[in-house]
Amino acid sequence: MRTLVLNAGYEPLAVVSFRRAIVLVLAGKATVVVDGPTPVVSGSLILPRPSVILLARYVRVPYGRSVPVSRRGVLRRDEHRCAYCGHHATTVDHVLPRSRGGQDTWDNLVACCVRCNNLKGDRTPEEKGWTLRVRPRAPRGPAWVVRGADIRDPSWDEFLADAA
């Protein structure tokens, strides 16, 4: 079980284990906002299993947290759909091939099926006469910046509402 940690201003910060969340609550550094389905039972007390906690003090977050580029992130951003044909994607393709100076950036990487990736080779989509279904861009929103929020609990949805 994992717990979403909110800053004092209800901004999503991180996802931690429920044990870490219990320690924060027992130390008085956080309060439980949303309870999980089953309580935590010890020898002397019963506590609600925290699904979402709110920190008592505001934590300054570095401005401009960027999302690191990863294969998993590109596939997730494009919803595992090929940028060229729309079928299920399992690979990542460089729009401008690396052999021509293409970088590993959010604007140059797209999800791609194996067939399209092999057909495209080291050419650009324009050279093949193909068009991109969507323009690649860097993902935004709290679900992308908050580490561990890619697999989310349904009780987190209201706190990660403007997620991509």
What digits encode the pLDDT tens for the residues 35-80?
Answer: 888 888 888 888 888 999 999 999 887 766 677 888 988 998 899 9
Q: Residues 115-127: pLDDT tens digits?
A: 999 999 999 999 9
Judgement on whether residues 55 and 23 belong to the same structural domain of the protein:
yes
Judgement on whether residues 41 and 87 belong to the same structural domain of the protein:
no
| Number of domains the chain contains | 2
DSSP-assigned beta bridge partners for residue 12: 6
Judgement on whether residues 88 and 109 belong to the same structural domain of the protein:
yes
Percentage of residues in the chain having pLDDT higher than 90: 53
d(CA 5, CA 61): 13
Contacts of residue 44, defined as CB under 8 A and 6 or more positions apart, other chains included, come to none
Q: What is the bridge-based pairing of β-strands 2-6 and 50-55?
A: parallel
Q: What is the mean pLDDT of the chain?
A: 87
- pTM given for the model: 0.63
Q: Residues 5-18: pLDDT tens digits?
A: 999 988 888 889 88
Radius of gyration over every alpha carbon of the chain, rounded to an integer in angstroms: 21
